[in-house]
């Protein structure tokens, strides 16, 4: 598996263990809930396509047979919803949704009317993140805060999703003079990640204007302009583009002083 992140810790909520009946079930529910919430936040189909074997890879100390039994028990007890809606009829792998998130899934607004539906067998784990890799600060991000965030976000969204992402995508298309490479889903995901990166790295700057400037200087760069056709490339090469731009400015300053 490409870009697989090795996790060193998994954590669980004590209340979840009491609610679901075991540590293993609490971990499985936390994983699926995290994926559901991530997808709802990004205005994606919130259902998570997850096989027993994939969960066993996530939790190497659990067998896929036991995971299958626990998933059935969670469904039976009304904690977990499931469906089979896959591209290929022979694929009987289920997609899951935590019951408490069902209202948000039902009221989800599509990103755009012409956006193609997600393939059920596409990876659902966000890049460079691991919902169960814990740290001290993450303990404050409990389920209630997540639900509140989703409710407020749903009320403020337009029928075309995140306005900042839409603005950046349209700007990029205009600068490029055509469509972006890659899927709509991929470009929206990496635009979202890039906005968060700029907010963290440059807290005193407007992230949208900063990313627009990054697009402009990247498309003027002799090297990066050849490959800068989507937000994935922009996300992974942001610092290189900035350093290249600073290098060009230094050369210009040296020429002027001669």
CATH number of the domain residue 31 falls in = 1.10.10
Are 196 and 120 part of one and the same domain? no
CA contacts within 13 A on the Cβ side of 25: 21
Q: Which of 136-140, 145-149, 190-194 is modeled with the greatest confidence?
A: 190-194
Torsion of CA 144, 150, 151, 153, to 10 degrees: 140
pLDDT digit string (tens) for 155-168? 444 344 688 999 99
User: 136 to each of 114, 140, 218, how far by Cα in Å?
Assistant: 41, 8, 37
Are 68 and 196 part of one and the same domain? no
Q: Per-residue pLDDT for 137 more than 50?
A: no
Are 147 and 190 part of one and the same domain? no
127 occurs within a structural domain:
yes
What does the pLDDT read at residue 108? 57
What does the pLDDT read at residue 27? 95
What does the pLDDT read at residue 145? 53
Domain end among 136, 156, 176: 156
238 occurs within a structural domain:
yes
Answer whether 48's CB lies under 8 Å from 124's CB: yes
Are 150 and 177 part of one and the same domain? no
E strands present in 22-110: 48-49, 80-83, 95-98
Overall average pLDDT of the 4-32 stretch: 87
pLDDT digit string (tens) for 63-105? 989 999 999 999 999 999 999 877 777 778 899 999 988 887 7
Q: Give the residue numbers spanning the domain of 247.
A: 163-257
What does the pLDDT read at residue 84? 87
Cα 151 to its chain centre, rounded Å, is 18
């Amino acid at each position: 598996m490409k870009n697989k992140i090795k996790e060193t810790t998994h954590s669980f909520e004590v209340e979840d263990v009491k609610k679901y009946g075991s540590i293993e079930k609490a971990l499985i529910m936390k994983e699926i809930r995290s994926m559901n919430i991530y997808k709802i936040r990004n205005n994606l189909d919130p259902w998570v396509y997850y096989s027993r074997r994939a969960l066993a890879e996530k939790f190497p100390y659990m067998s896929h047979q036991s995971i299958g039994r626990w998933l059935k028990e969670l469904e039976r007890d009304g904690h977990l919803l499931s469906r089979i809606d896959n591209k290929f009829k022979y694929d009987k792998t289920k997609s899951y949704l935590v019951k408490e998130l069902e209202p948000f899934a039902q009221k989800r607004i599509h990103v755009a009317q012409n956006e193609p539906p997600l393939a059920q067998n596409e990876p659902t784990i966000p890049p460079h993140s691991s919902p169960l890799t814990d740290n001290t600060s993450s303990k404050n991000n409990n389920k209630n805060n997540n639900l509140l965030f989703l409710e407020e976000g749903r009320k403020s969204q337009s029928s075309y999703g995140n306005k900042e992402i839409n603005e950046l995508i349209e700007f990029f298309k205009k600068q490029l003079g055509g469509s972006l490479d890659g899927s709509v889903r991929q470009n929206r995901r990496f635009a979202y990640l890039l906005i968060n990166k700029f907010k963290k790295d440059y807290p005193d700057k407007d992230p949208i204007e900063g990313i627009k400037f990054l697009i402009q200087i990247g498309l003027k760069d002799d090297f990066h302009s050849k490959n800068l056709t989507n937000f994935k490339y922009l996300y992974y090469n942001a610092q290189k583009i900035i350093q290249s731009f600073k290098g060009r400015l230094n050369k210009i300053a040296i020429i002027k002083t001669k």
